Amino acid sequence: MRNWTARLTLALVASALVVLATSSAAASIVEYDVGIDGFGCPMCVDSLEKRLEPLEGLEDLEVDMGAGTATFEVDESAVLMPGEVAEAVDEANLSVREINVVAEGTARQDGDEWQLELSEDETIGLNVEDELGEQLEEGDQVEVSGEALEEGGWTIEVREVSTP
């Protein structure tokens, strides 16, 4: 009897841990390093900050006018897509040179194509070379880093894959 009770308790605890682990799995583009062209004076910086800061989940924004970069993190509960960042930069009368990201989510395979599921509604395509693709498994939680490119839709040109 005692044995059954122990087994039941263990099963419940394991289930709870699985549920907890699943619900807290990070799924977002968590870091942005955006190269920006067109800075001319301090008002450009203010103009850019005014448009980036309202974006959902954006934290720790730093703009370097000399280097032409804006770096920030995104709260894991929010999904901020590269298109929204590019649109904000354009509205500030500036241009995106490149968008480098770190993204976390669930790897999904569709034929030869890989995608990263960020939420129930949002996925982003992954452009992965064969060697890196071998590190991906359907349904795995992964962290990828690379350059976000707009090629029809937004994709990440993956440079690095790891398990968070």
Partner 1 sequence: MKSEVFRPSCNHHAIGSDGPSARLASRAILFVAVVLTVGLAGVEPAEAGPITFDAALPVPQGDVVLRNQVVLNRASSDPTGADRTMTGLMVPTTVAYGLHSRVTFMGMLPFAYKRLEMDADAVDGADNGRVTRTTSGFGDMRAMVRATPLRIDRTGGKVGASAFGGMKLPTGADSEHDEYGRFPQPFQLGTGSWDPVAGAVFTWTELRWQFDVSGAYHLRTEANDFEAGDEIEGNASFQYRIVPWGQLESGTPNWLKAVLETNLTHAGRDRVGGEPNPDSGGLTWEISPGLQWITTGNIVEASVQIPVVQRLNGDALGGDFRARVSLRSRF
Stretch of 26-34, 60-68, 110-118, 145-153 lying at the interface with partner 1 (CB under 8 A):
60-68
Please state the closest distance from residue 81 (CB atom) to partner 1, in A.
Answer: 20
Q: Quick one: 66 or 111, whose CB is closer to partner 1?
A: 66
Q: Of 29, 26, 25, 28, whose CA–CA distance to 147 is shortest?
A: 29
- Measured CA distances, 84 to 12, 58, 108, 142 (Å): 42, 12, 23, 23
Give yes or no for residue 64 binding partner 1 (CB under 8 A). Answer: yes
Whose tokens are 């060697």? That residue is 131
Give yes or no for residue 63 binding partner 1 (CB under 8 A). Answer: yes
How far apart, in whole angstroms, are the C-alpha atoms of residue 84 and residue 78? 13
Residue from 24, 41, 111, 163 touching partner 1 (CB under 8 A): that is: 41
How far apart, in whole angstroms, are the C-alpha atoms of residue 70 and residue 38? 13
**34 within 8 A of 69, measured Cβ to Cβ:** yes
DSSP string of 135-161, one letter each residue: T--TT-EEEEEEEEEEESEEEEEEEEE
Q: Quick one: 72 or 114, whose CB is closer to partner 1?
A: 72
Stretch of 43-51, 75-83, 123-131, 155-163 lying at the interface with partner 1 (CB under 8 A):
43-51
Stretch of 11-19, 87-95, 115-123, 139-147 lying at the interface with partner 1 (CB under 8 A):
87-95
Contact footprint for partner 1 (CB under 8 A): 35, 37-47, 51, 63-68, 90-95, 97
